[in-house]
Structure 1
Amino acid sequence: MSEFQPKPGKSTRPPSTPTAALDALLAVPAGNTLRRALWLDELDRRLRPLLPFPLSAHARLANHEHGRLVYLVDSPVWRAKLRLLAPELMSGARSMGLDAAEVVIKTSLPSRAPAPPAPAKTVTMSAAAKKSLEAALASLKSTDPDGSDDAG
């Protein structure tokens, strides 16, 4: 038997295996926050099909606590549309086993990066405009009594 092959009855696993990062985070007491965030994300995915297409892109479940479904939308227009669908959302949440007594909708504008500066505009001239400009510049030049041009 080769020395590199495992001996019968011995484990083929190395003596210490690294724990996955997510498992390590969930193991510590602070993992409860992460567990709740993952649960809310899954709940949002399950409730999202109840929203019509344009609205589902602008609304996100932010919290569920004490029978309240809290949604975030990105403009007042979507807030009004979501408010009309509140009864359907509550019945859908109840069918999933959640205690849903009310829907709270908050408007939160998405963070926007400052707009990049506008590029300098290139001015294009027609041939006639260019000729007129050159003539105007030439008329501004004064001529010395010696006959030499002064750029002035």
Structure 2
Amino acid sequence: MMFSIAGQSLEFFMGADKPAKPEQSALSALKSSGLGALITHAGELADVDQTLRRSLPPALARQCRLVSWDDSRLVFHAASPVWKNKLRLHSQEVLAAAQSLGLHAREIRIKVDVGFTPNPDLMA
């Protein structure tokens, strides 16, 4: 006896010929659609952001994020003016971490982002 649920056989649900995860196939499709460079850059930005924020105290790391960089400047967003000032106090540590990654940044710009939502799980 064969059961069918929404056009899929029972064998499908039992693990026979598992398809790729939907997120993976969607990401592959986006990469091949011409958005690959943008997706790659976003991944690099996330990796550099995580690495740089590891040089900060955990409470501060949860309240800011790297939003861009170029040859000479890192740009961060902070959740409030208080966190902006605290990040400014740690700018030398962040620049040193950036140098260790091979970035040639010499300055940090920090902007207060009123829409910033800290992620409590991010650096816990």
Please say whether Structure 1 and Structure 2 have the same fold, judged by a TM-score greater than 0.5: yes
C-alpha deviation, 1:74, in angstroms: 0.8
Q: Does 1:45 align with 2:50?
A: yes
In the other structure, the counterpart of 1:77 is 82
C-alpha deviation, 1:66, in angstroms: 2.5
> 1:15-71, CA deviations, whole angstroms, 9 ceiling, x for partnerless residues?
xx9982212211222221121111101111111110102111101111111221110
In the other structure, the counterpart of 1:21 is 26
TM-score, normalised to structure 1, is: 0.58
Instruction: Give 1:82-101 correspondences, 5 Å limit.
Output: 82-101=87-106
CA RMSD of aligned residues (A): 2.3
1:21–1:56 distance in 2 versus 1, CA, 3 Å? same
Distance 1:20 1:71 in 2: 32
Q: Does 1:68 align with 2:70?
A: no
- Structure of higher RCO (CA pairs closer than 8 Å, 6+ residues apart): 2
- Unaligned segments of structure 2, at least 5 residues: 1-16, 118-124
SS of corresponding position for 1:70:
strand
Task: Please point out which of 35, 38, 61 is paired with 1:33.
Answer: 38
Q: Does 1:108 align with 2:113?
A: yes
TM-score, normalised to structure 2, is: 0.70
Distance 2:63 2:116 in 1: 14
Distance 2:33 2:70 in 1: 23
Distance 2:26 2:43 in 1: 15
C-alpha deviation, 1:110, in angstroms: 2.3
Pairs aligned (count): 97
Report which of the two has the higher share of helix. Answer: 2
Q: Percent identity?
A: 37
Structure 1 letter corresponding to 2:111: K
Structure having the higher Rg = 1
Contact 2:76 2:109 in 1 (8 A): yes
Structure 2 letter corresponding to 1:80: N
